[in-house]
Structure 1
Amino acid sequence: MKRMLKTSLLIAALTAAGLSPAQTLRWASAGDPQTIDPMSQNESLTNNVNHQIYEFLVERDKKLGFIPGLATEWKQDNPLKWTFKLRRGVKFHDGRPFTADDVVFSLGRAVEKTSQMNAYAGALGTPKKIDDHTVEFNLTQVNPIFLDHLNTVFMMSKSWCEEHKATKPQDYANKEEAYTAFHANGTGPFVLVSRQPDVKTTLKRNPNYWGKLDGNVQEVIYTPIKNDATRMAALISGEVDFVLDPPPRDLEKLRDNKQVKVIEGPENRVVFIGMDQGRDELLYSSVKGKNPFKDLRVRTALYQAIDIETIKTKLMNGQSTPTGAVASSTLATGGDPEVEKRLPYDVNAAKKLLADAGYPDGFEVTLDCPNNRYINDERICQTLASMWARINVKIRLNAMPKSTYFPKMEKGDTSLYMLGWGGSITDAETTFTPVYRNRGDKGQGFYNYGNYKDDKLDAMIAASSKEGDPVKRKAMIKEIFLTHNAAVHHIPLHRQFIPWAARTNLEVVHRADNWLELRWVTVGK
């Protein structure tokens, strides 16, 4: 009865607003966007929602290929110079014109310390305004994936940010209450109506959008629903139209339901485990006076104690691909079997490694894990805890929402953690620089939450980042993967699949970066 009343009230509200239910998309997933500031947090769902509001100079099509966005054309004048022509007549949502000043400002904002896009933006060189509709980028070194990096920096209004004292990205880690966390002014196909963190985010179609919208959505209501059963019940009952992350164990039941459909496809995302290798003593461990994760034998023991096939078949219901490479896609590794090869699952070998390292009786340590970010994230961590118990490594599981988890990680407040990495870019560079490198000043190693220092690996990555010869670069990339794998700086698990679930009247485009593009969504009767 309550559900029927709720649906009736929703229909009445939409009718009063001049909208039919068919023009409203109600979607959900376990998590919530971390912020509406488009440069503060580099997290997939956050970026996905923000991309409906803000845009890039260079966009991606339905197959992730590059197409014109706020720039209509571009050329590489020489290895260190790019020139872009901007789209004329584009306005921000409040009517301000989009010009080259906004491009220069946005790139400057994106390299600030509080920006999680600074490693990418810093690789774009220095933007220079030539005229209102022409921008030139001058690089200090060759960037073999310049357009990929450019496709990570959202364009913001310079004057709007100045007006609202938001010239720097929100300091999310320190819980800054920035204006840009709750308000937005982009050029994109949808306008932010309201933002209630962990409750609801509402968007409406931009009536003055410069581009073409293939879909019919006029209003969007995003609701985070953490509990899997509640989220699926909402989809089956029709209270929501689309779920970004149906649990793998529910897929067969969903396929049998005539009111819903499953839209399947792999995601460019790898899930892995990181370890604090920087401190002389772990923050959260029974071992005092030293750090067991500084010992390669201990890191290898944890790796070899993982029965990855059981995780794939029993926990992920086959919806994952085990890998030995911390890379979002086989496109990054070239599908090289030497790079992709995992260390063998061997509990006895793991026990011997621990004993040889001086831990014959194991030790206790806390594992930090998100519980609403990756497919089955908390359950994977629970499973790892039981597997590591077989080698007497006792896990205190600390699972939490991503809104708590990521600020904790950014402060280095961890001893052992889960992380995922992926998105639209499949080139190895965008894993190497932010995840593999030593921590540096320009976003380098920002996601090296374990704070390991490997000067040899760091130098190899720095060299590959500016290598323009594709043959030489391919060989360098393979060497980097193999060097990293041998050091076990991270423990790779798998690449997750991303099935989506929707009501049968919904038409969507499933992209491998797991972004739902609202301009391509059609809600039928």
Structure 2
Amino acid sequence: MDPYVVEEVFTSGFLGNVYEGLVRRTPDLRLEPALAESWEMVSPTQWRFHLRKGVTFHDGSPFTADDVIFSAERVRSGASDFKNRLPAGVEVVKVGDYTVDFITKEPNPILNFTWANWYIMSKSWAEANKIAPPVKGGDTENYATLHESGTGPYKLLAREPGIKTVLEAYPQWWGAKDKVGDVDKVTYTPVPNPATRVAGLLSGQLDVVFPIPVQDIPRLEAAPNAGVVTGPEVRTMYLSMNQWKDTLPGSGLDGVNPLKDRKVREAIYRAIDINAIRDKIMRGLATPAALMVAPGVNGYTDEVKRYDYDPAKSKALLTEAGYPDGFAMTYQCSNDMYVNDEATCLAISSMLAKVGIKAKPNIQPRAKYLEAVTAPNMDFGLAMLGTTPSSLDSHIALYSLHMCPRAAEDRPLWDKDDLTKIVAGKSNFAGYCNPDVDRLAGEILKEADQKKRSELIHQAWTITTNEVAYIPLHQTWAAWGTGSAVKLERRADNVFDWRHVTIGK
């Protein structure tokens, strides 16, 4: 329940019903006021936010500027997974009880674009309960792990990790008069097995389940007591290739890492028949991707094209790189994070085997999988992941996934035990690094002219595509199952906002 520990769509989306940010996203993903009623740029490097009055936390304490100042400090402390919400050097100044200034070193026209899931915590509650700075992965518990005091429309009743979490509507919520839905109580139950989820929906034990395997969609659409809500996601699925380690995990090649060679990375790319994955595994509910951002994200362009599926070219590239017989590597996959993730991983493994690359999938549940592929372990040659830029802007994808992994002192990050001072490349576990991309990312952040900014973004995406920094796969179409009486707004970023759910009578 600690809102700064894990930046992952389901977790932060769930907590967005309990905690709130200064801004939030509408169902069509527009930015709108939340705990801040309004804001303006006093100067190119000074933003002023006017806070909402009359808001109370779930423990009854009032929301003021002191809570914003405290949250700004905590979100940048310890091993917080949300440090990029406030770039290094941003000064947060209390102007009055309900006015806060954010002063940046350089112009930043998208400063608040990522704040919809930077949630504000209560300073008095945190101090009274001795809540420590966030710890990597939530491995060490503090009071905020199992308790909360947010300002959101729902408050926590019971938390049994791995079993169920129960919440109820908060009657003093400031936005109650504008609430669209009629849900008074929510019980979240993790059900890892897709067949069990579908059975629970059909039996009436569950009201909403997601994700739904694409092969079960016709069955649910035909059921009299269930329905399916589908639509494209702004998440892009991709393959991360470990270019960081000197020895490729699982290869048996001491001191050798084939993935450092661009030709090898292109060979992997060309060995994947993305149209077959779309048609046979995703049943048409996927859009092949050429970029690491989806349509709807600022900076997306259809001018950048995918590398063609070409196994013969793939084999030729491997031969040129010195691997005519291919090589082996560790291939990490999840089985409960994304739509048909296990089946997609198995298909890619089979395709790679046809060109001589032995990538045997190690398929694991979410927690074990993330432990393997993230720092400091990075125990993978290939790993399949998904990315949704929290800002819905290309900069965050470049900043987190493509900038050279660096610590605050500008030293390489992943050779350190201390991961707390990260400022760039925080999700770049592949270790891709190009100073030109770093430079462009910096320019993109501070460029206010939208035409110039778009040109800079296009330059960056052209470089990363040409270098095969990652292998974009597709944007999936999410499918959520609902009971026949349930109506909801499925957001393209997969955040489940309970304010917009009606369950009928």
TM-score range, shorter chain: over 0.9
Q: How far did 1:113 drift?
A: 4.3
Q: Distance in 2 between matches of 1:405 and 1:164?
A: 32
Pick one of 460, 463, 477 that aligns with 2:443.
463
Q: Distance in 2 between matches of 1:217 and 1:149?
A: 27
Q: Distance in 1 between matches of 2:113 and 2:440?
A: 21
Q: How far did 1:48 drift?
A: 1.0
Q: How far did 1:386 drift?
A: 0.4
Q: Are 1:239 and 2:219 matched, yes or no?
A: no
Secondary structure, aligned partner of 1:399: strand
Q: Are 1:261 and 2:227 matched, yes or no?
A: yes
- C-alpha contact (below 8 Å) 2:236/2:293 kept by paired residues: yes
Find the counterpart in structure 2 of residue 366 from structure 1: 330
Q: Are 1:96 and 2:76 matched, yes or no?
A: no
Deviations 1:255-280 (A, max 9, x none): 11121111121111000001111121
Structure 2 counterparts to residues 321-340 of structure 1, below 5 A: 321-334=287-300, 336-339=301-304
Find the counterpart in structure 2 of residue 17 from structure 1: none
Change (3 A) 1:416 1:514: same
- C-alpha contact (below 8 Å) 2:234/2:297 kept by paired residues: no
Find the counterpart in structure 2 of residue 295 from structure 1: 261
Q: Distance in 2 between matches of 1:364 and 1:245?
A: 32
Q: Are 1:230 and 2:196 matched, yes or no?
A: yes
- C-alpha contact (below 8 Å) 1:110/1:118 kept by paired residues: yes
Q: Distance in 1 between matches of 2:483 and 2:451?
A: 47
Deviations 1:143-178 (A, max 9, x none): 1212212323100011221222224123216x2123
Pick one of 333, 355, 367 that aligns with 1:391.
355
Q: Distance in 1 between matches of 2:12 and 2:295?
A: 19
Change (3 A) 1:88 1:461: same
Q: Are 1:219 and 2:185 matched, yes or no?
A: yes
Q: How far did 1:437 drift?
A: 0.7
Q: Distance in 2 between matches of 1:155 and 1:406?
A: 26
Pick one of 482, 485, 493 that aligns with 2:462.
482
Q: Which amino acid aligns with 1:241?
A: D
Q: How far did 1:302 drift?
A: 0.5
Find the counterpart in structure 2 of residue 31 from structure 1: none
Q: Distance in 1 between matches of 2:366 and 2:25?
A: 27
Give the share of equivalent positions with the same residue, in percent.
37
Q: How far did 1:198 drift?
A: 1.9
- C-alpha contact (below 8 Å) 1:329/1:426 kept by paired residues: no
Q: Are 1:524 and 2:504 matched, yes or no?
A: yes
Pick one of 16, 36, 55 that aligns with 2:20.
55
Q: Distance in 2 between matches of 1:149 and 1:124?
A: 17
- C-alpha contact (below 8 Å) 2:242/2:380 kept by paired residues: yes
When the two structures are aligned, how many residues end up with a matched partner? Answer: 487
Secondary structure, aligned partner of 1:324: coil
Deviations 1:70-89 (A, max 9, x none): 11111111111111111111
Q: Are 1:282 and 2:262 matched, yes or no?
A: no
- C-alpha contact (below 8 Å) 2:389/2:397 kept by paired residues: no
Secondary structure, aligned partner of 2:234: strand
Find the counterpart in structure 2 of residue 447 from structure 1: 427
Q: Distance in 1 between matches of 2:456 and 2:481?
A: 40
Q: How far did 1:223 drift?
A: 0.9
Structure 2 counterparts to residues 342-421 of structure 1, below 5 A: 342-408=306-372, 409-411=374-376, 412-421=378-387
Q: Distance in 2 between matches of 1:476 and 1:147?
A: 20
Normalised TM-score (structure 2): 0.94
- C-alpha contact (below 8 Å) 2:24/2:117 kept by paired residues: no
Find the counterpart in structure 2 of residue 14 from structure 1: none
Q: Are 1:134 and 2:99 matched, yes or no?
A: yes
Secondary structure, aligned partner of 1:512: coil
Q: Are 1:307 and 2:273 matched, yes or no?
A: yes
Q: Which amino acid aligns with 2:104?
A: L
Q: Are 1:161 and 2:126 matched, yes or no?
A: yes
- C-alpha contact (below 8 Å) 1:124/1:150 kept by paired residues: no
Q: Which amino acid aligns with 1:227?
A: N
Find the counterpart in structure 1 of residue 486 from structure 2: 506
Q: Any unmatched runs of 5+ in structure 2?
A: 408-421
Divergent runs of 4+, >4 A: none
Q: Distance in 2 between matches of 1:243 and 1:265?
A: 15
Q: Distance in 2 between matches of 1:222 and 1:123?
A: 36
Q: Distance in 1 between matches of 2:234 and 2:309?
A: 25
Find the counterpart in structure 2 of residue 18 from structure 1: none
Find the counterpart in structure 1 of residue 412 from structure 2: none
Q: Which amino acid aligns with 2:406?
A: G
Q: Distance in 1 between matches of 2:447 and 2:88?
A: 13
Structure 2 counterparts to residues 102-113 of structure 1, below 5 A: 102-113=67-78
Secondary structure, aligned partner of 1:380: helix
Moved more, 55-64 or 163-172: 163-172
Find the counterpart in structure 1 of residue 87 from structure 2: 122
Moved more, 364-373 or 108-117: 108-117
Change (3 A) 1:124 1:231: farther
Q: Distance in 1 between matches of 2:375 and 2:117?
A: 20
Secondary structure, aligned partner of 2:67: helix
Normalised TM-score (structure 1): 0.90
Structure 2 counterparts to residues 10-29 of structure 1, below 5 A: none
